[in-house]
Structure 1
Amino acid sequence: MMKKLEKILMPLAEAIGRNKYLVSVRDGFLVSTPLLIAGSIFLLIANFPIPGWTEILEKIVINSATGETLASFISKPSSATFDIMAIFAVMGIAYSFARQMKTDKIFGAAVALMSWFLIMPYSVTGTVEVGKKTVDATLAGIPLGWVGAKGIFVGIIVAFVSVHIYAWVEKKGWVIKMPNGVPPTVVQSFAALIPATVVMGFFFLLNLIFGYFQTNVFQIIFEFLQTPLLNLGDTLGAMVIAYIFLHLFWFFGINGGSVVGAVFNPILQTLAIENLNYFKTGEGQGHIICQQFQDLFATFGGAGSTLSLIIAMLFFCKSKRITELGKLALVPGIFNINEPIIFGLPIVLNPTMLIPFILVPTLNIVISYIAMSIHLVPICNGIQIPWTTPLIISGFFATNWVGAILQGLLLILGVFVYMPFIKIMDKQYLEDEAKANEANDDDDISLDDISFDDL
């Protein structure tokens, strides 16, 4: 069975790991990660879960002319990150993809951003006051919805297409070449002129065609691609299947988070942003499955939720090999770093630990999903909490004190699931240590064994 799984998973992981599109999406989203975490800090301050806290912030007026309060100013950093995160995603993905295509990275990101804005509808619907009446109106402007979560999938497609066209034109040699002695920046600028113009012309025609049919690319992609994908990703079955594969990859020594995350993380991150907008504005709907659900309730402590395993090692095992490893892995495990356990116990290619390694996060997903679906625990609020945030604290910030308790209960459940399996290994290691001690005793030389009678 192991050999068959290895034959299936190893080529699959290698194919995903080398796929330039998936690698570009994975690396491109990393551009926005530190910005979203920084914005989340201010969002937590603005919505700190203390009774009366938000009312205090609302009472402190900063700008008397406009009536803006401290609460609105503290919320601005999160708006400057979450509300326009698709811009960062387009830039990051195009930059990474241009590197894969071996073309100019800066201009690749620039033409992708230009193309994305070119096909975006510049209109905002709302209400305006005309005299004493309030009327519906369509105003010129960039809709925040399209530069936020709703525009991510269009951004991914545009980044790939625009960089492809740019690289193709460049490889054809359709570039303006400057004479020797011209500064390199000027040379690069003029070399990008024709490829950028071709990209612009392509997306201009695309926008023209969609405009003729009284629609736009954003609306079509959102309705026929993004919404079905998000609906599929926001299901218990999809989450369980994805994370069975994730842990199977880890079992064979492949970083399952990178492989599965390259496909699944864009969906989870988009769902998380929609959750944030839902909690901020009350518009739309919340999702149980999202990035925070994965990080904080499915696989806390690292892949396999191995923090439970570490506790089982420390409390129920006696062999020095396991207990010493448990002591070394405890602090990293608290901060969700579990490579010492994955490769040190090991879990990689260890059939004894395969079942609990998959079973514990699966139970976490199912139990958490049920608890949130029956409203026993609130769904995650979408705030980007650093993945190294310890258990209980992360659950409290992502939901409330009930979520923190759920994390604690899942941690304890995981301990008892891992316990019988780690005790099997512990028994074997104790026997190995006993044999090693006996061998050392036999090798010891005692003066009592020396006789002088034969001299």
Structure 2
Amino acid sequence: MQKLESFLSSKLLPLSQKLQQNKVLAALMEGFIRTSPITLGVALITIIGNFPFPGWINYLKSIGVYPHVEAITNGAMGVFSLYVVYSLAFSYAKQLETNERNSAIISLASFVMLMPQTIVTTAMKDGHAVDSTIGALRLDFLGGQGLFIGMLIALLVTRFYAYLSKKNIMIKLPDSVPPMVTQSLAPVFGVTIIFVIMFVIRVLFGLTASGSVFQFFIDVINAPLNSLVASPLSIIIIVELLAVLWFFGIHNAVLQGPLGAISMTMVVTNISAFQKGQDLPYLIPSVIYTGMYAAGFMGFVAFFMIRSKSAKMKQLGKLSLVPSIFNINEPVMFGMPIILNPIFFIPQVFTQLIAGFVTWALATTILPISLNPTMSLLPWTTPTFIKMPFAGGLNYTILLVICMLISIVMWYPFVKIADKREYELELAAEANKEKETAEEIKAEGVQA
């Protein structure tokens, strides 16, 4: 393992350091890290509100508490793209040495401008169902489904705003005008140009069948997958695609169409056959899906972080461990960050792929699984290491251990490499701080 770490360090660290000198990547990492208080802060309420105990959610609904749990969760994660747009634009503007607050607020406004702003609902009128259009923003696009488009808007709008600023396309105000007023009014011309471009983009995508840039992006991603049926290979393809897209900051929500259709087909059909005492028609695809899901368990990553030398990673690991046990991975994904971090490309992209094929091979040869599909109805926060043993007994538990071992072997060396880099940066920062302090003391001594 040490030889592997040494080899990866010699190859990956220089590449990572070079890539992270890129202003876009640096802004992405800082922007995601700045959203960590939101993902960590809401984790406890999300866990309690969706605690994996039979009847718990129904109890919360019966006493009227669950709607408030949903409101808090939606206020954090349901509109998460808004926070990413602002944070990312702010960080990128700092890299480009342009006005951070103006860039962030203009990017945020551009993001909302491109979003569909009406929703069709069905209402009863005179005993008949009538379609009614209301003005509203969909949480889908404010949350995970809008994340990638939001990232693009933040980067492109901020870059264009910086360009306009350098070209002095600004209102010239006298020096006597307060700085706050100058910073607010000076960019009006440039902002007008940006908003006109947003208008043109909105109109052009409105002419497509999708109706908006958000839906167009989702349709393009989903198109090649919509024809897939539940099979071992299709499950591996979709779950692996989820892992790849996550690395590039594209949330799993964009694939909820094909993934939801396939998973619901497997669950409903398997439960129906199970209740009739028949063979499960989607046994192997279900086993593969759960095996890959187990390999994506991020609790080990958080545990490795706790044992790190880096103070940043150690603290983030402590805060992320409990959420990750309950399948809330955003604190690790955005806090490390893993997204667009070249150090973590290999484990993020290949871990579940390897686990998928290993699971397929074992389940069809030496580890036959007797599956209770009703366990798939447990809340999504149910830890995998609890759900799998109850769902499939000893063989399923052995499969769980194997998939998690794959995850440990794949993630451990790369977390160590990241820890080494962060620790070196912290030592360098501490040395610089001590040097500055010594110079200040020396300067004070000279003045005295």
- Report the Cα distance in structure 1 between the residues aligned to 2:47 and 2:59, rounded to whole angstroms: 15
* Alignment of 1:49 onto 2:49: no
TM-score if structure 1 supplies the norm length?
A: 0.57
% same residue: 22
Q: Partner of 2:425 in structure 1? A: none
- Report the Cα distance in structure 1 between the residues aligned to 2:254 and 2:377, rounded to whole angstroms: 10
* One-letter amino acid of the structure 2 residue matched with residue 200 of structure 1: F
1:341-373 per-residue CA deviation (whole Å, 9 max, x = no partner) reads xxxxxxxxxxxxxxxx99x97899459976999
- Are residues 272 and 157 of structure 1, via their aligned partners in 2, closer, same or farther at CA, if it must alter by over 3 Å? closer
- Give the match's secondary structure for 2:52: coil
* One-letter amino acid of the structure 2 residue matched with residue 220 of structure 1: F
1:2-29 per-residue CA deviation (whole Å, 9 max, x = no partner) reads 9997886455323421222233233222
Matching residue within 135, 138, 159 for 2:133 = 138
Contact 1:46–1:71 (Cα < 8 Å) also in 2: yes
* One-letter amino acid of the structure 1 residue matched with residue 304 of structure 2: G
- Give the match's secondary structure for 1:200: helix
Q: Partner of 1:87 in structure 2? A: 82
1:136-167 per-residue CA deviation (whole Å, 9 max, x = no partner) reads 33322112211111111111111111111111
* One-letter amino acid of the structure 2 residue matched with residue 139 of structure 1: I
* One-letter amino acid of the structure 1 residue matched with residue 303 of structure 2: G
Contact 1:121–1:216 (Cα < 8 Å) also in 2: yes
Contact 2:106–2:191 (Cα < 8 Å) also in 1: yes
Contact 1:380–1:399 (Cα < 8 Å) also in 2: no
Shift of 1:188: 0.8
- C-alpha RMSD of matched pairs (Å): 5.5
Matches within 5 A, 1:9-20: 9=12, 12-20=15-23
- Report the Cα distance in structure 2 between the residues aligned to 1:80 and 1:400, rounded to whole angstroms: 35
Q: Partner of 2:218 in structure 1? A: 222
* Alignment of 1:30 onto 2:25: no
Contact 1:174–1:194 (Cα < 8 Å) also in 2: yes
1:163-184 per-residue CA deviation (whole Å, 9 max, x = no partner) reads 1111110000111232223222
Q: Partner of 1:126 in structure 2? A: 121
Matching residue within 71, 80, 83 for 2:66 = 71
Matches within 5 A, 1:292-307: 294-296=296-298, 299=301, 301-302=303-304
- Report the Cα distance in structure 2 between the residues aligned to 1:27 and 1:123, rounded to whole angstroms: 33
1:163-218 per-residue CA deviation (whole Å, 9 max, x = no partner) reads 11111100001112322232221121122222222211111122123334462211
Contact 1:96–1:105 (Cα < 8 Å) also in 2: yes
Contact 1:115–1:203 (Cα < 8 Å) also in 2: yes
TM-score if structure 2 supplies the norm length?
A: 0.57
* Alignment of 1:190 onto 2:173: no
Q: Partner of 1:66 in structure 2? A: none
- Report the Cα distance in structure 2 between the residues aligned to 1:213 and 1:241, rounded to whole angstroms: 26
* One-letter amino acid of the structure 2 residue matched with residue 12 of structure 1: L
- Are residues 271 and 209 of structure 1, via their aligned partners in 2, closer, same or farther at CA, if it must alter by over 3 Å? closer
- Report the Cα distance in structure 1 between the residues aligned to 2:117 and 2:171, rounded to whole angstroms: 33
Contact 1:31–1:88 (Cα < 8 Å) also in 2: no
- Are residues 86 and 153 of structure 1, via their aligned partners in 2, closer, same or farther at CA, if it must alter by over 3 Å? same
Matches within 5 A, 1:98-177: 98-177=93-172
- Give the match's secondary structure for 2:172: coil
Contact 2:87–2:104 (Cα < 8 Å) also in 1: yes
Unaligned runs of 5+ in 2: 228-233, 268-285, 322-346, 411-448
- Report the Cα distance in structure 1 between the residues aligned to 2:102 and 2:71, rounded to whole angstroms: 30
1:375-415 per-residue CA deviation (whole Å, 9 max, x = no partner) reads 788599766xxxxxxxxx9656998977997799469968x
- Report the Cα distance in structure 2 between the residues aligned to 1:149 and 1:168, rounded to whole angstroms: 29
Contact 1:230–1:271 (Cα < 8 Å) also in 2: no
- Report the Cα distance in structure 1 between the residues aligned to 2:89 and 2:387, rounded to whole angstroms: 31
Contact 1:272–1:291 (Cα < 8 Å) also in 2: no
Larger mean Cα displacement after TM superposition, 26-35 or 100-109: 26-35
Q: Partner of 1:343 in structure 2? A: none
- Are residues 24 and 122 of structure 1, via their aligned partners in 2, closer, same or farther at CA, if it must alter by over 3 Å? same
Matches within 5 A, 1:319-398: 365-366=355-356
Contact 1:125–1:137 (Cα < 8 Å) also in 2: yes
Larger mean Cα displacement after TM superposition, 16-25 or 72-81: 16-25
Contact 1:17–1:23 (Cα < 8 Å) also in 2: yes
Q: Partner of 1:264 in structure 2? A: 247
Contact 1:379–1:399 (Cα < 8 Å) also in 2: no
Contact 1:298–1:362 (Cα < 8 Å) also in 2: no
- Are residues 128 and 193 of structure 1, via their aligned partners in 2, closer, same or farther at CA, if it must alter by over 3 Å? same
Shift of 1:52: 3.1
Shift of 1:241: 12
- Report the Cα distance in structure 2 between the residues aligned to 1:138 and 1:367, rounded to whole angstroms: 47
Contact 1:301–1:333 (Cα < 8 Å) also in 2: yes
Unaligned runs of 5+ in 1: 61-68, 244-259, 311-324, 338-356, 384-392, 419-455
- Report the Cα distance in structure 2 between the residues aligned to 1:133 and 1:208, rounded to whole angstroms: 34
- Give the match's secondary structure for 1:181: coil
- Report the Cα distance in structure 1 between the residues aligned to 2:217 and 2:12, rounded to whole angstroms: 31
- Give the match's secondary structure for 1:173: coil
Structure index of larger Rg = 1
- Report the Cα distance in structure 1 between the residues aligned to 2:132 and 2:42, rounded to whole angstroms: 32
- Report the Cα distance in structure 1 between the residues aligned to 2:386 and 2:23, rounded to whole angstroms: 36
Contact 1:301–1:335 (Cα < 8 Å) also in 2: no
Between the two proteins, the alignment pairs up a number of residues equal to 336
